[in-house]
Structure 1
Amino acid sequence: MTQWLFPPRPTPSLPITGSDLRFPVRRILCVGQNYAAHAREMGSDPDKQTPFFFSKPGDAIVSDGANPAYPSATANLHYEAELVAAIGEGGRIVGWAVGCDLTRRDLQAEAKKTGRPWDAAKGFDQSAPCGSVTLGDLPSPAGAIALTVNGETKQSGALDDMILNPDRIVEAAGKLWTLAPGDLIFTGTPSGVGPVVRGDAVVVTIDGLETLAFEVA
């Protein structure tokens, strides 16, 4: 019988729409600059873009309507609305959710300038608010994706504006990692990213999926 030095932490998980089952989260992979307009606003040329990934730990998940805390060490916390692909057996997409990639933009800018990793900018505690997983095919592959802050629309786009569609993202990720049940892939964000402060109410919507709503605590 295994004896632990201290009790293992509970496995992070997401609710599943219309079910009492939960989706256990293994890890989070994220695609960078997968919408042309967002690539341009971040200073990149989408025509010369090759797929790149960064990651967040599984316990960065914020679920079940909880409110993420404003993180330390930043004065420029940004929202990024994203479609999230949920991976099941065989590395296949089994469901979808609405996510928000929170980013310490000032730390990311410094990391880019000095050629250092993005971990502190992207993979911090409570940096991945995510809604419930809807199993099956994506309800609206060309559907709208939008984000509001305090009722004001900040991001508005369409899923078919992606440079790489979800199947191609999974194919690219599978060349770098062995995808396994419980992996989540954040598939990129449209243009219009910007800052939030404590007390801001954020709502992210994608056609056909459960809305994600939270306040910055």
Structure 2
Amino acid sequence: MPLWIPITIAAAFLQNVRSMLQKQLTGEMSALGATYVRFAYGLPVALLYLLGLTALTDAPRPEANLLFLVYAVIGGTAQIYGTVLLVALFAYRNFAVGTTYSKTETIQTALFGIIVLGDHLSLGAFAAILISLAGVLVISIAQAKLTLTAFWRSLGERPTLMGIGSGACYGVAAVCYRAASLSLNQPNFILSAAYTLAVILAIQTAMMTV
């Protein structure tokens, strides 16, 4: 089994746990506050992870370059906005509609990857993305107990636009993070990813602290 499969499954699971905890935080603080907690508390963990990998591997330490920093800042900013929009959705009575539309992140990420990185998706890969997106939307609609009529009528509502916007921001962030990591030309992709994560979290924490 390729390594990316268990990594993707674990990431999806942890992402759901994160969203659940962020929803609980909205009852105690603002959307900006809940977003700040995510980055500020994640930074020490990312730094420890990076230090541990650096100590255990013989690969050369990644060095940031201008292109890396540009992608890191753009991606980090996009993720902040995406998180604020997603957390703000929880304050709406019909937040389930907005969070359902935020699931369009997958297809938006693929499109941004084609535009920014020149990714080439095969017909089969694109079909798989559409099937996956359709599955997520169907499950989300069922869990939210929405009718298809109510779902389509909600297209012009504010929560819907916020959900689509959140998905777009996350899509931009994902593509920029990948581009930043690739710009390091690091042979050890795990170390490269850890370095990218730590730097971006530091940037995000600094931006939101100021």
Give the TM-score band, short-chain normalised. Answer: under 0.3
Structure with more of its chain in helix, by fraction: 2
Of the two, which has the highest radius of gyration?
A: 2
**Higher percent of residues as strand:** 1
State the TM-score, normalizing by the size of structure 1: 0.27
